[in-house]
Structure 1
Amino acid sequence: MTKPYSVPPFLSELLHARSPSGAENEAQAVFDRHVKSAADAYAKDALGNRLATLNPKGDPVLMLAGHMDELGLIITYVNKEGFLYFDTIGGHDLSVISGRRVVIQTANGPVKGVTGKRAIHLMDDEDRKRVPKKHEIWIDIGARSKDEALERISIGDVATYDHELELIHGSIGTARAFDNKVGAYIVGETLVRLAKEKKRLAARLVSVATSQEEIGTRGATTATYLVNPHIAVAIDVGHATDHPDCDNRKFGETKLGGGPIICRGPNINPKVYAWLVEAAKKAKIPYQLEADPRPTGTDARAIQMGRGGVATGLVSIPLRYMHTPSELVDLEDVERCVKLLVEFARGLESGDYAHF
C-alpha cells in the first residue's frame, strides 16, 4: 500500500492562510513563525514584505523572492436587502466566480458567504451564453437588510474562496492559492535548510516573501530597493500545458511532475539561467524550460529593473488551472525546487556578479 504523502506543515499553513493583496497578515504570521528563528537578521517593510537574511556579511548578495499574496474580492457596496457587491483583487476569470463559498475577513472575525447570480432556470437563451459582469454577481451572507449586513461586515473588507488544500492522489494537491504560496514556502524553506548546514555560504542570502504581486509586483519593487541584490531569482507558478485545450504550439510544453520550469528570455540574465541549469544537473533534479519574449508576469519583471538593474532568474512550479479556486500542483515539484535553489545558493562564489 502506498504511504500517504505528507505535506510540510510550513507549506500547509501558508496554503490555509488567507492573504489577498494588501491583506497578507495571515501569511506574514506563518512566514514569521517558520523562518524568523533560522535567519541571522529578519525585517519587514511598509508594504508587508518579509525579509530573512542568512550570512549578512556574505558576497555576492542573492535575493530569492516568492509572493505570498493571492487573489481576492473586496466589498464595495451593500444594497438595501443586505446583499454585498464587490470588486476583484487580481486577475479573476469572471466565469468561475459564481456559486462559490467565500470567507470575508472582518474586524470581528470571519464571515461566511456564497457568491450568487440568477439561476439558469430564470435565464433566456441569450443570458445563458453570456458571462456575468462583476456588478451582476453578489455575495449572500444570509442578511435580511443593509443594516444587518453592515453589523457583520464593512465596506473594504476582503474575501477569498473557501477552497482549502486537499491531496487528490499521491503528491498531487489542489488548493485555491498555490499561486503563489508555494513560492513563499520555497524561498523560506531554502533559507531554513541552508541555515542548518555547517558550511557557510559565500553569498549573503535574503529570502523575501513579497506582497501585492497580483496587483502589479509592488512588494518586489520595494524589497529590491531595500536588499539591493547582485543576483536574484523569483519563484512563482507557471502554466502546466499538459491538459486538454492547451495547444503546445501556442503555449510551449511543460507538465505537472516534470520538475521546476526555468525561464529564458529578455527578463532573464543569461548567466543566472546557465547557473540554474548547472545546479539542476549537479543535484540531478529534473527541470523544464520555458521561453518568454517579454517581461514576465512575475516579480522577476520588477526585480530586474530595480535600482541599477539586477541579474535575475525565474523558476516556476508547473500548475494547472491558474487563477481558479482549485489550482493543481505536484508537491514533488515544490520539493525539487527547494533542492534546486539550495544547490544554486551553495554554488555562488565571491565576486560572481563581476561576470555580468
Structure 2
Amino acid sequence: MDDDRRTFLTDLLTTPSPSGFEAVGQRVWIDYVQEFADDVWTDDYGNAVAVHEGDADASIAFGGHADEIGYIVRDITDDGFLRIGSIGGADRTVSQGQHVTVHAETPVAGVIGQTAIHLRDVGEEEYEDIGEQFVDVGADDEAEAGDLVEVGDPVTVETRVRPLHGTRMAARGMDNRVGIWSAAEGLRAAVEADVEATVYAVSTVQEELGVQGAKMVGFDLDPDAAVAIDVTHATDNPDIPGKRVGPVELGEGPVVSRGSANHPSLVELARDSAATADVDVQLQATGTRTGTDADAFYTSRSGIPALNLGIPNRYMHTPVEVVDTEDLDAVAELLGTMAAAAADAAPFGLDLG
C-alpha cells in the first residue's frame, strides 16, 4: 500500500463516526474521492456517493458503510457519572477499563469504569450489560457533568492505529472503514482505466443499526448491480471455537460470499475478475443472510443483483480489530477489474430461458 492510500486509511480510522453521527467521517471520505470522481453528492441522512460516468448503458455500485459501533449518553447521575447505552453491537466484555471520548460540543475525555480486582469478589464476576456501565469524566456532581455533556452525545473508545508485524495493522473501527476505503480505491481504479460502465462508490450510514443507509441509497441510485464491501470474520486465531474454525484466513485475499443475497452473476463476475487480475480469493457460505449492506441492496426496488465481498478481520467489534493491508490492496485491484468487466457482464439478471 502506497503512502497516499495508507494516509487515507489512517485518516478514516482516526475519525470517530458512530452510527447516526457519521458526518465528520463522511467529510474525510468525500474530500478524498472528489479529487478524481466526476461528481460527488450526499443525501439528507449523510450517505455519500461518488461517480465515474461511463459511456456504456451499465452501472455498478461499490459500497461500504461509514459508521462504527459505540455508545451514547443516556443519563447523568447525581454524582456526575454518565450512564450509557449501545450504538450498534457493542461488546460488553471489552468495554470496561477503556479510555473514551464523549463527542459533546467540545470533546470530553473519560473512562468506562472498572472496579479494581482488589474490591471485587474474584471468581464470581459477571460482565455487566452496557446499560449498567458508566463513564467517569472526572466531574463531582450532575451539574458539573451537565456543563460538559448532554444526554444523546455519542461516545467512542479512544485507541490508536498501530502497525503490527509485516503488513498487518490494528485499530478500532476497521469495521467498516476498510470497506469505504476499498469502495473509494475501486472507483479510483475505474477512473484511471476510464472503464465503459458507470461506477458508483458509496459510503453508507447506519449499517450497524440495520443496514438503513443502504436501503436509502439502493432505492435512490438503482444501479444494475451492487457490491457491498465489509469485514468478515477471520477464523484463524487460537481461541475460535472448534465448530467455527473455518475457511477465512488473514492475508489470503478477499472473500467472495455465496448464497442468500449474493447473485450468481456477480459471484461469477468476481471470480472471473480475480482470475484475470491474478488475485487470490476465498469463499464463504451465507445460507440465510450476509449481515451487510448487500441484504439491503438486493431487496431495493424490484431487486438489485448484489454481492457481499468480505475483508478478513480478526476480533470484530473490539477496539483491536486486525486486518492485513495486502488483503485491502487485493480488494481494490479486484474491484477495479470488476469495474472494467461490468459493461460486458451486464445485464446481471438470471437467464431462466
- Once the two structures are superposed, the pairs formed by residues 52-131 of structure 1 within 5 Å of their partners are 52-55=50-53, 58-107=56-105, 109-125=106-122, 127-128=124-125, 130-131=126-127
The answer to whether 1:11 aligns with 2:16 is no
Normalising by structure 1, what TM-score?
0.94
Does residue 206 of structure 1 match 2:204? no
Residues 1:306 and 2:300 aligned together: yes
2:165 equivalent among 141, 144, 169: 169
Read off the aligned partner of 2:153 and give its amino acid letter: D
C-alpha contact 1:164 1:176 (8 A) present in aligned 2: yes
Does the CA-based 8 Å contact 2:59-2:342 persist in structure 1? no
Deviations 1:53-104 (A, max 9, x none): 1116542110111001001110010111110011010112211110000011
Residue 39 of structure 2 corresponds to residue 45 of structure 1: no
Quote how far apart the aligned CAs of 1:284 are: 0.5
**CA distance in structure 2 between the aligned counterparts of 1:253 and 1:174, rounded to whole angstroms:** 21
Contact 2:236 / 2:246 at 8 angstroms: preserved in 1?
no
Partner residue in 2 for 1:347: 341
Aligned to 1:284: 278
Written as runs of structure 1 = structure 2, the 5 A alignment for 1:210-289 is 210-247=204-241, 249-250=243-244, 252-289=246-283
Moved more, 173-182 or 133-142: 133-142
Deviation at residue 212 of structure 1 after TM alignment: 0.4
Do 1:40 and 1:56's aligned partners in 2 also have CA atoms closer than 8 Å?
A: no
Could you tell which deviates more after superposition, 58-67 or 246-255?
A: 246-255
Superposed CA offset, 1:276-304 (max 9, x none)? 01111110111111001111110010011
One-letter code aligned to 1:116: G
Q: Which residue identity is paired with 1:176?
A: R
Amino acid at match of 2:279: I
Deviation sequence 1:174-229 (CA, Å, 0-9, x none): 000000000001101211232233xx322111110000000100000000011001
**Distance between the aligned counterparts of 1:58 and 1:34, measured in 2?**
26
More displaced stretch, 168-177 vs 239-248:
239-248
The alpha-carbon distance between structure 1 residues 307 and 355, as it changes in their structure 2 partners (threshold 3 A), is closer
Match of 1:35 in 2: 33
The aligned amino acid for 2:49 is L
Residues 90-130 of structure 1: CA deviation (Å, up to 9, x unaligned): 112211110000011111x21110000322222225642x1
More deviation, 119-128/10-19: 119-128
Q: CA deviation at 1:170?
A: 1.9
**Structure 2 spans left out of the alignment, 5+ residues:** none
8 Å CA contact retained: 1:191, 1:207:
yes
Amino acid at match of 2:79: E
Letter in 1 for 2:183: V
Report the counterpart of residue 157 of structure 1 in structure 2: 153
What is the rounded CA distance, in whole Å, between the counterparts of 2:136 and 2:56 in structure 1? 54
For 2:108, the aligned partner's letter is V
311, 315, 318: which one pairs with 2:309? 315
Q: TM-score, normalised by structure 2?
A: 0.95
- Between stretches 321-330 and 24-33, larger displacement belongs to 24-33
Could you tell me which of 132, 136, 143 is aligned with 2:132? 136
Q: Distance in 2 between matches of 1:160 and 1:102?
A: 5
Between the aligned partners of 1:304 and 1:164, the Cα distance in structure 2 is 36
1:127, 1:98 → 2: CA distance?
Answer: 17
- Per-residue Cα deviation, 1:234-271 (whole angstroms, up to 9, x for no partner): 00000000111324643521101000011001211011
Question: Partner amino acid for 1:268?
Answer: N
Q: CA RMSD in A?
A: 1.8
In structure 1, what is the Cα distance between the partners aligned to 2:61 and 2:192? 19
Partner-residue secondary structure (3-state), 2:35: helix
Q: Which amino acid aligns with 1:78?
A: I
CA distance in 2 between counterparts of 1:223 and 1:70 reads: 18
Alignment partners' CA distance in 2, 1:271 and 1:229: 15
What amino acid does structure 2 have at the position aligned with 1:349?
Answer: A
Which residue identity lines up with residue 347 of structure 2 in the other structure? Y
